[in-house]
A and B are shown apart, each in its own frame.
Chain A
């Protein structure tokens, strides 16, 4: 299957700082990537759909100014958690969609802890 790489896998930061998470598709071009958030023992919550060369589409209730998404190339999407607070602590996972079947290939996930 396709390979999606996510970095960093773990990050600890102080409240008020911004954190950037990168998601790369290593062996295929991904025009669309997805960002999820997952709380312990809960399912994946889609945050936004990242489209190469255009603005991301955010799900209802997700703050656009809080979670900045940039998809500058066909292989890279980034999620920046701005002015992070402890309630932003979570497991963030990116995925890229295979074509034409649409299966999702997930990155390894990034565990964010905000102190």
Chain B
């Protein structure tokens, strides 16, 4: 079992829809969780961090964490074509461990 698993994708949604990205992790000791966005040919950029159970909202982005289920998700509301990218889930236990990423395409 991988330490961090993400929906395999690719995920395609129409413009204006909600995109839902999911991530599960294996280490119950994990304390910090991050979502990164990576455009093709570019390095990842941090878009959300979450440390406690529940929801955290930042603009159109909402991160959700459920430590009991070892699950973290990212919702993107009112998806835009500019949101088309690969989204990486990262979990920290000592060091950062990344999922393989989910590629999102938002169609105009």
Q: With a CB–CB cut-off of 8 A, which chain B residues contact A111?
A: 41
* Bound Cα distance from A32 to B100, whole angstroms: 23
Among B49, B95, B98, contact of A49 (Cβ-Cβ < 8 Å): B95
Interface pick from A12-20, A73-81, A101-109: A101-109
**A102 and B32 within 8 A (CB):** yes
Binding site for B on A (CB under 8 A): 1, 6, 34, 42-44, 46, 49, 91, 93, 97, 101-109, 111
Q: When A and B form their complex, what is the total count of cross-chain residue pairs whose Cβ atoms lie within 8 Å?
A: 47
* Bound Cα distance from A111 to B44, whole angstroms: 14
Having A6-B43, A44-B88, one finds 10 other A-B pairs with CB under 8 Å, namely A42-B100, A43-B98, A44-B98, A93-B43, A101-B49, A101-B51, A102-B92, A104-B36, A107-B43, A109-B43
Among A49, A91, A104, contact of B34 (Cβ-Cβ < 8 Å): A104
**A103 and B98 within 8 A (CB):** no
Q: With a CB–CB cut-off of 8 A, which chain A residues contact B46?
A: 1, 103-105
A-facing mask of B86-108, CB < 8 A → 1, else 0? 00101010011011110000000
**B49 and A106 within 8 A (CB):** no
* Bound Cα distance from A81 to B104, whole angstroms: 33
Question: Among the interface residues A6, A49, A106, which one has the most CB atoms of the partner chain B within 10 A?
Answer: A106
**A104 and B90 within 8 A (CB):** yes
B42 within 8 A of A: yes
Q: With a CB–CB cut-off of 8 A, which chain A residues contact B98?
A: 43-44
Q: With a CB–CB cut-off of 8 A, which chain B residues contact A104?
A: 34, 36, 44, 46, 90, 96
**A101 and B96 within 8 A (CB):** no
* Bound Cα distance from A97 to B46, whole angstroms: 12
Which residue of A has the minimal Cβ distance to B34?
A103
Contacting A at CB under 8 A, from B68-99, are 88, 90, 92, 95-96, 98-99
